[in-house]
């Protein structure tokens, strides 16, 4: 059965050291008269070793540990709710930030198959709320409150990294995993609450931190940014020197259908969006992932599949077909798996590759914003 618990964690009013880039960390320690290598030691302790207390960093002097403890915390988010799905494949945490905002983070576990090794993927939020108002998304119905800081984004991954590594350690102790198979988090997807490209600079800085080989060291090709289709952001992302993946939430094959569920389409219609995707592919030589949430009777008919095939047939892409994770109060119903397979077959006629992906964590409100909605409902 699903596990749900309140986890008391002491909050801090100190500035989070996770807000500092490596250069800023170096400059901060230099003002304290510390040599440059101390910054590398501190960086490794936080991002590689997962230390949560300066006092545990025994390779630093006692005096330095004291100064750091007086001036900084290692993150400021409080875990207020943690849930695990019945099949233990998904964990979701609801965090409270110092200003009271609630955000969600999900850890998804995937077993090894014939093509890929087992992996643990973290889905992170980039905003508290969202301004874009997609009608099938719980977060989209909450409205926008603010962007998350770089530290608030990276802290989500660090928390899940500690959870993932502790699971690996237990398997090593049990003899079911070798020491060389200690993985922790393998992938990060920016697909949680908010629109990542609307918080571009903080998103990119967090990606650089997560990608740093002296820190968590998550490879760029294991990091995916998802967008509803903010064209300026897509074009800017195409010029970055970090070769991350791009996922575009399309969810409809024509402007009329898309505008009904995604107001952003009125500003960036499908024709312009596909042009931006072509530009991204040309600049990066990387395929794009097209996210297509299947809404029963809304966008999942054979006609919709044919239209989608014609729209995407000349784009280097892979389509993820995702039966909707119902929000509870929304009007949309979930497309049956066999109907999703039929939709996939129709796409194949246009040589558009696709995968039917069943949502994880439905029993624990793992869809974006659902756990926050539930927590607020309990308070009212």
What does the DSSP assignment read for 226-262? EES--HHHHHHHTT-SS--EEEEE---SSHHHHHHH-
Handedness of CA 295, 298, 300, 306 (dihedral sign): negative
Whether 122 and 187 have beta carbons less than 8 Å apart is answered as yes
pLDDT category, 138, cuts 50, 70, 90?
A: confident
pLDDT category, 366, cuts 50, 70, 90?
A: very low
361 has a pLDDT exceeding 60: no
Query: What mean pLDDT is reported for the chain?
Result: 88
Between 56 and 168, residue with greater pLDDT: 56
- In this prediction, residue 371 carries a pLDDT of 46
Q: Which of 117-131, 340-354, 364-378 has the highest mean pLDDT?
A: 340-354
- In this prediction, residue 10 carries a pLDDT of 43
pLDDT category, 379, cuts 50, 70, 90?
A: very low
- In this prediction, residue 145 carries a pLDDT of 93
Report the range of poorest mean pLDDT among 22-36, 82-96, 102-116, 264-278: 102-116
248 has a pLDDT exceeding 70: yes
Read off the pLDDT of residues 22-38 as tens digits, 9 standing for 90 and up: 999 999 999 989 999 99
CA 268, CA 369: separation in Å to the nearest integer?
24
Q: Which residues are catalytic?
A: 104, 368
Q: Report the pLDDT averaged over residues 7-33.
A: 82
Report the range of poorest mean pLDDT among 196-205, 223-232, 308-317, 323-332: 323-332
Reduce the DSSP state of residue 144 to 3 states and report it. strand
9 has a pLDDT exceeding 60: no
Q: What is the side-by-side order of every strand in the sheet holding 78-84?
A: 3-5, 78-84, 90-96, 102-110, 119-123, 187-190, 223-227, 245-249, 288-294, 317-323, 354-356
Structure tokens at 305: 């599949």
The candidate with the shortest Cα–Cα distance to 46, out of 243, 241, 214, 242, is 214
CA 110, CA 362: separation in Å to the nearest integer?
16
- In this prediction, residue 225 carries a pLDDT of 97
CA 68, CA 54: separation in Å to the nearest integer?
7
The candidate with the shortest Cα–Cα distance to 295, out of 266, 273, 262, is 262
CA 283, CA 221: separation in Å to the nearest integer?
16
**270-284 vs 302-312: helix axis angle to the nearest 10?**
40
pLDDT category, 364, cuts 50, 70, 90?
A: very low
Between 325 and 261, residue with greater pLDDT: 261
Contacts 24+ apart (CB under 8 A), 43-48: 43/212, 43/214, 43/215, 44/214, 44/215, 46/17, 46/18, 46/74, 46/158, 46/215, 47/158, 47/209, 47/212, 47/214, 47/215, 47/216, 48/214, 48/215, 48/216, 48/217
11 has a pLDDT exceeding 80: no
Q: Report the pLDDT averaged over residues 53-67.
A: 95
348 has a pLDDT exceeding 50: yes
- In this prediction, residue 226 carries a pLDDT of 96
Q: Report the pLDDT averaged over residues 52-72.
A: 94
The rounded percent of the chain whose pLDDT value lies above 90 is 71
CA 345, CA 17: separation in Å to the nearest integer?
50
Domains of the chain (ranges; CATH) run: 9-73 (1.10.150.530), 78-379 (3.20.20.70)
Whether 158 and 206 have beta carbons less than 8 Å apart is answered as no
């Amino acid at each position: 059965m699903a596990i749900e618990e309140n986890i008391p964690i002491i909050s801090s009013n100190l500035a989070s050291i996770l807000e500092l880039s490596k250069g800023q960390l170096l400059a901060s320690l230099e003002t304290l008269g510390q040599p440059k290598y101390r910054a590398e030691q501190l960086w490794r302790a936080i991002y590689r070793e997962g230390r949560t207390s300066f006092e545990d960093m025994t390779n630093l002097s006692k005096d330095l540990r004291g100064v750091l403890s007086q001036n900084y915390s290692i993150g400021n988010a409080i875990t207020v709710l943690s849930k695990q799905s019945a099949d233990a494949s998904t964990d979701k945490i609801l965090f409270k930030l110092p200003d009271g905002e609630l955000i969600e983070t999900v850890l998804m576990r995937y077993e090894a198959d014939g093509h890929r090794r087992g992996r643990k993927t973290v889905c992170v939020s980039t905003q508290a709320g969202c301004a874009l108002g997609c009608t099938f998304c719980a977060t989209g119905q909450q409205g926008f409150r603010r962007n998350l800081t770089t530290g608030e984004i990276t802290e989500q991954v660090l928390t899940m990294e500690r959870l993932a590594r502790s699971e690996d350690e237990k398997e090593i102790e049990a003899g079911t995993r070798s020491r060389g198979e200690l993985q922790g988090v393998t992938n990060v997807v920016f697909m949680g609450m908010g629109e990542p490209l609307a918080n571009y600079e903080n998103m990119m800085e967090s990606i650089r931190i997560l990608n740093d080989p002296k820190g968590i060291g998550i490879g760029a090709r294991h990091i995916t940014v998802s967008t509803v289709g903010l064209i300026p952001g897509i074009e800017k992302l195409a010029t970055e020197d970090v070769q991350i993946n791009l996922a575009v939430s399309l969810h409809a094959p024509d402007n009329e259908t898309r505008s009904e569920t995604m107001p952003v389409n009125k500003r960036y219609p499908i024709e312009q969006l596909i042009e931006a995707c072509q530009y991204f592919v040309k600049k990066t030589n990387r395929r794009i992932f097209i996210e297509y949430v299947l809404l029963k009777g809304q966008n999942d008919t054979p006609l919709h599949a044919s239209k989608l095939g014609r729209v995407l047939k000349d784009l280097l892409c892979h389509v993820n077909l995702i039966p909707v994770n119902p929000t509870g109060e929304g009007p949309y119903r979930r497309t049956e798996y066999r109907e999703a397979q039929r939709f996939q077959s129709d796409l194949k006629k246009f040589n558009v590759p696709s995968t039917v992906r069943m949502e994880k964590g439905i029993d624990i409100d793992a869809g974006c914003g659902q756990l926050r909605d539930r927590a607020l409902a309990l308070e009212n």
